[in-house]
Amino acid sequence: MATPLPASTTAPRPRLPAAELDALCARVRTFVDEVVIPREDLARGHDVAWLDTVTRGLRAEAAARGLVAPQLPVEAGGLGLCWQDCARVFEECGRSVLGAGALGCQAPDQPNIDTLMHLAAPSQRERWLEPLMRGEIRSAFAMTEPAPGVGSDPRMLATRARRDGDGWVLDGHKWFASGAVGAAFAIVVARSDEGASWFIVDTANPGWTLVRDIPSIDSFAPGGHGEVLLRDCRVGADALIGEAGRGFDYAQMRLEGARLFHCMRGIGLASRAIEIAQGYAARRDSFGAKLSEHQQIQAMVADAHIDLYACRLMTADVARRLDEGESIRHHSSMAKVFVSEALNRVADRACQMTGAFGMCTDEPLAMIAQRLRPFRIYDGASEVHRAAIGKRVFQRGARA
């Protein structure tokens, strides 16, 4: 019989006093606005080596200010914040595409850390998890495959894992492996006789080949999105994470928190976009008045603020449920769909309000719009979440 899944969160943590949380958020905002945002180089958003270098420097500065790893337990070198407090802090760090890396809470490392804290064996913790938490190495997550392999339908997982003596041999083709360029190790999802299983693969393994960093609109992604071939990739028995056959359960556990972190950071980035657009509208003359004096512009700003308000409330509610130990599968799906789509609306309005300025790729608005667009697909496309939400409603007779 399979053992029960570990809780998807760390042990419950108390909320910071309001004044203390406000002060922490102010410190993060000052650091992001005065130190992190000026380091953004929009021409180098796909330069993984540059991104690693600038992130290391920013993380050192954040550590000197006591701001690194808000989400990790204090004993692991973090600030030990609960989910609700993380929502506030992550919004501030999310104002910059470099902010999450600076504070040590970027994807895929953070969801990998969260999962390995629950599942890693002692040897895995010592070799991989602890250096990852200290920011000494980066990690990757390799589940998605090119057609006809796994995408939204987990049943299509094609990468195979077969037992060979005391170890395993992995064979398959992955792409959009988050963080693969420059990662020290990857969590690889493969199909064993028991079902989907998770393995830690050292990227120095001769059976692991990084084919390319896939060009995409998703800039400033640590480690990019790799295409990877696994050919006769031999790993030891100690590479298996948790139990064989539990891979999809582990993926769901990993994604619930990852979705919420994406919501938190995305709110910060979208709020920065509308702030830039508001500043532009207040300066720009058009038809004998400032843009900000035209009702159509005012309506777009109002709609953006309404969307952001709703995003914050939904994210805070799911964070509260996590802090209280509730199952969040249904609510995190609803929040992920709404927030990802609302943030795209906010960014689109910001670009529309600013005309040609919003189309310039050497200005931040176009970059922000591109950075937010994949969120409607990553961690489960909106359409897949809607199907799951609707199915659960009819199965359970849930009230609206």
Q: Are 161 and 153 in contact (CB under 8 A)?
A: no
Q: What is the rounded CA–CA span in Å between residue 202 and residue 259?
A: 26
Q: What is the rounded CA–CA span in Å between residue 397 and residue 79?
A: 41
Is the fold of 18-106 the same as that of 139-245? no
Q: Which amino acid is residue 199, in one-letter code?
A: F
pLDDT of residue 3: 63
- In the DSSP assignment, the letter for residue 205 is S
Domain 18-106 matching CATH 1.10.540.10: the answer reads yes
In this structure, what is the dihedral angle of CA atoms 79, 80, 85, 88, given to the nearest 10 degrees?
A: 30
Q: Are 61 and 135 in contact (CB under 8 A)?
A: no
Instruction: Show me where the domains of the chain are located.
Output: 18-106, 139-245, 255-396
Q: Which residues contact 22 (CB under 8 A, 6 or more apart)?
A: none
Based on its alpha-carbon atoms, the radius of gyration of the chain, rounded to whole angstroms, reads: 21
| Backbone φ, ψ for residue 226 (5° rounding) | -90, 150
Which pair of tokens denotes residue 118?
């629950």
Q: What is the rounded CA–CA span in Å between residue 217 and residue 37?
A: 20
CB atoms < 10 A from the CB of 19, how many? Answer: 8
User: What does CATH list as the number for 255-396?
Assistant: 1.20.140.10
**Assigned architecture for domain 139-245:** Beta Barrel (2.40)
**DSSP labels for 235-291?**
E-GGGEESSTT-HHHHHHHHHHHHHHHHHHHHHHHHHHHHHHHHHHHHH-EETTEEG
Q: What is the rounded CA–CA span in Å between residue 64 and residue 159?
A: 43
Q: Are 135 and 59 in contact (CB under 8 A)?
A: yes
Q: Which residue from 9, 232, 276, 239 is spatially nearest to 118, judged by alpha carbons?
A: 9
In this structure, the strands spanning 185-192 and 208-213 are unpaired
Q: What is the rounded CA–CA span in Å between residue 347 and residue 273?
A: 6
Q: What is the rounded CA–CA span in Å between residue 386 and residue 353?
A: 30
pLDDT of residue 378: 94
**Residues listed for the chain:** 400
400 in helix, strand or coil?
coil
This prediction has a pTM of 0.94
Q: What angle do CA 303, 357, 309 make, to 5 degrees?
A: 20
pLDDT of residue 400: 73
Helices 18-31 and 83-93 pack at an angle, to 10 degrees, of 20
34 in helix, strand or coil?
helix
Strand partners, 192: 195
Q: Chain-centre distance of CA 257, in angstroms?
A: 9
Q: What is the rounded CA–CA span in Å between residue 67 and residue 69?
A: 7
Per-residue pLDDT of the chain (400 residues; tens, 9 = 90+): 456 655 544 457 899 999 999 999 999 999 999 999 999 999 999 999 999 999 999 999 999 999 999 999 999 999 999 999 999 999 999 999 999 999 999 999 999 999 999 999 999 999 999 999 999 999 999 999 999 999 999 899 999 999 999 999 999 999 999 999 999 999 999 999 999 999 999 999 999 999 999 999 999 999 999 999 999 999 999 999 999 999 999 998 998 889 999 999 999 999 999 999 999 999 999 999 999 999 999 999 999 999 999 999 999 999 999 999 999 999 999 999 999 999 999 999 999 999 999 999 999 999 999 999 999 999 999 999 999 999 999 998 877 7
Q: What is the rounded CA–CA span in Å between residue 92 and residue 25?
A: 7
Q: Are 139 and 184 in contact (CB under 8 A)?
A: yes
